[in-house]
Every structure is written in structure tokens, then in C-alpha cells.
Structure 1
Amino acid sequence: MTLSPERLPRFARHIVLPEVGGVGQVALANAHVVLVGCGGIGSPALQYLAAAGIGRLTLIDDDTVDVSNLQRQTIYSPSDIGKPKAEAAAEWVRRFDLGLEVLPCVARLGEDNAARILSGASVVLDGCDNFATRLLVSDSCVKLGIPLTSAAIGRFQGQVANFAGHLPNQPCYRCFVGDAFDAQDCDTCAADGVLGAMVGMVGTFAAMHAMRVLLAAKSALGEPQYGTLHLIDGMAPSMRPLKIAKDPGCRACGSPS
């Protein structure tokens, strides 16, 4: 796929960057990003993925828009309250850029549908809010050979990392958290609170990180930084990297015994 002449002005500021260029922009246009969760992290991530010209977007969320979401989930408005988030998010993409293909998926990922829904993605960006789904997404990405961008937030702390557990010597998300979190329960922003701008900071950084994966072979943007967890402290503010080691005994990406 190439960019049509009428699309070039829209992405001119990308194309003039030596680190992206025309080749990189075409790579973005040919990419398929699956976004797991259209909430606090997914909302700003989606805005910048769409603005970057990601050609195909699959949006997964089984929740509906609530008035409390509007404080941080910036693609929604009061008129969206009660609508499925995946469908409302897809409507936002269509209003924003008719040149993008968008598929809403109003469903919760499970063992029965994860492989089918995630298959064919160039990268999966996971911004969901529970460990069970995060681990399911990670394990599925390892099996399917798909890179994963994982993003999470709690109060004023954020975490973003790229994982490629399907590659030799690269860890997966399960190597990081282990098996203890295969459960639905976890802390939520409803109970703990969250600053809207902090969610935006983590979500946009996750979009940038996903684009590192997409452009790694086509531009000079930089390495995907697989296995490096970026810890974001919104109070300091600061960011520091933490290298995740591959777990040889990991049941998802480790060496079979």
C-alpha cells in the first residue's frame, strides 16, 4: 500500500522527519493495531494511533460509557453515555479520519476468542484493567508471534513496556508478573482514584511505544526496547527504565522441560 497524493499533506510533519519519512509513514498505513481496552489508557492511545495514520484498528471493550469516564477518557462526550465503548470509539475514529479501517469488538477476551480476535495484528496494545486479561493477552501474543505493548496505571504511577516473548531471549509479560495474578480482582481507579492527565501521559507514551515496534524495521526511530519496563512517576515527575529478565521456567515463553 502507498499513500495517495491527497493523504500526503495530512502526514507531512511525519514525512519530513528523517526518523520516519515516507517509508515509515507507509509502514504505519499498512499496520494493524489491536487495542485491548478503550478506557483511560486506550482513549488517548487511540487518538494518537489514529492521528499517526495506522491503517487498521481493532478496538476491544465490553464496557459502556459512564459519566465518570469523561474525566479521563477523552474520546467520549456526554452523548456517548450508555453506548458500548468499542462502538463509540470506532465512531470517533470514523469522524476523525475516513481513510482508516476500524473494527469495534464489543466483547471480553477469553480463552475461546482471544486467538481469533488478536490474530493478524502487527502489534497489540493492552490497556485493560485486570491481570487475568493482561496475562491472557500476553500468552496469546506469545503463541501468535505478535509483539505486545503493555500499559498500566495506578494513581500517579504508570508502567509501559514492549514485550516479544515469542522471540529468543526476550521476556513476555508473564515473566514480569508471574502466575500469581491469574485472577479477575485488582485495584481499580474507582476505588483508588486517578488523575486524568496522568492517564493521558501513559496512554500517549504507550502509543509512541507501539509505533516504535511498527517502525523498527522501516525507519530510524529506534529499537522497540523489548523487555524494558518504563516506570513513570507523575508526582516527581520522573521516568526510569527497568530491564525484565526472561524467565526460563515461564509457562508461556520459557523453554519446555
Structure 2
Amino acid sequence: MHIDVLTLFPEMFSGVMGSSILKKAQDRNKFTYDLVNFRDYSQHKHQKVDDYPYGGGAGMVLAPQPIFDAVEAVKSKRPTQPRIILMCPQGETYTQKKAEELAEEDHLILICGHYEGFDERIRSHVASDEISIGDYVLTGGELGAMVVMDSVIRLLPDVLGNEESAPQDSFSTGLLEHPHYTRPANFRGMEVPEVLLSGDHAKIEAWRKRQALERTYERRKDLLLKKNLSADLQCLLNELQNEKK
């Protein structure tokens, strides 16, 4: 995978991209990325990338020319058609399912907005996707782009040390993840559930399944409304609901 990020502040990415799993993945050539300052593509004599909105109103709007030209330039360097993602509070709310979908692509272009917003022609004629990481407003799209990059890159083959890690994450199964414990078995009188020490893998799996369902029921009932539960999970859910009455 290759990722191009169109941003006015490329320096913001150095810490995130130069640390932890993302840095290791780069070192192992699992993906490549470029930070593209679209101000460099401005045809304005002072390299302006924004202007006042037609019709009046507060704030400045990103002009189409620099972004159109920047996108066309980075597209020309790659043989495959990219997914062009506008980081925007009006976009679809980002989910694990979307991350899994984007992880199948060969080329992503992330466009980070600033100021009051984008000229609508960028939205309607450049972007293939619009993504919001939540119902709040940031000063720019860079933080959202970093979230997307992190969540997608960790899903690429051989990026995580354990191949089973990603499929078991919260939201990957449609449920929140079950609780985890590690040594010592007794810490300040707080004990690890006995079933996890039993060595009985069938019982452990059943415990984890129930715990994941219970945690989701207690914290995110909305996720259960979106998921078609298997017969055994539906039976467990019915038990939980009867216990909570």
C-alpha cells in the first residue's frame, strides 16, 4: 500500500509515523507514504490556498486549484486508481469496518482540510469518500488522517506481530473485546478468573465469548442492534437480559 497525505502541516506527522508499529512497518517495507504540502501547487503569487466564500460569511474556504492539481500530480505517479478520502466532519463516521475496507486498497490519498471548509467542487469532483472520526470539530484534518492511517496500516499483512490480534480486536467481531489478564494471578488480593488458569481451551473460549457479549451489552447496546447474532450468542444475550431484569 502507498498513502499520500495532502496537508498544509506535514510536520505534524513525524511523531506518529516515526514511532511504534507504524515505524516498524515502514522499516519492513509493509507500506510507503508521502506527505504532500498542497500549498506547493498553488498558482497564486503568494501561494495562497484559500479565499473568501461567495455569498459572505465567516472564515476562509480552501480553493479548488491547489488541491485539484496536487491530487492529479500524485495520481500520475501510481498505476492504480486511488481511493481519495476527504477528512471532513460531514463525512461518514469512521468504523472498524471502513478501516478493513480501506486496508484492501493499493493506494489511498487523504486530504486534510483547514479553515472554514472545502470548495464544494473538491467534495463533488475529487473525493471518492468523506470520513469523519467523530461528531466534533478539529482545527484541521491531520489528526483524523493519522487515525485512519494507524487503523488501516495495522491491518496490513504481517504488520502486527500476532496474526490473530486484529480479528479479535474490539469492533472487528461486532462486539467489544473480552477482558484480559496477565501475571501475577493474584495482585493485591485481586485474582484472575479461575477459568483462565484452567488450561481448558473450550471453557476459556466460552468465557471470553460471554464476557465480550456482556461487556457490549453493558457499554454499547447499539452495537448489538447492528449485528446479526448467531444462535448461541442470541441465547447468551437472552440469558443476560433475564439476569439484568
Instruction: Give the TM-score, by structure 2 length.
Output: 0.30
**Which structure has the larger Rg over C-alpha atoms?**
2
Report 1 or 2 for greater relative contact order, CA contacts < 8 Å, sequence distance ≥ 6. 1
Structure number having the greater helix percentage: 2
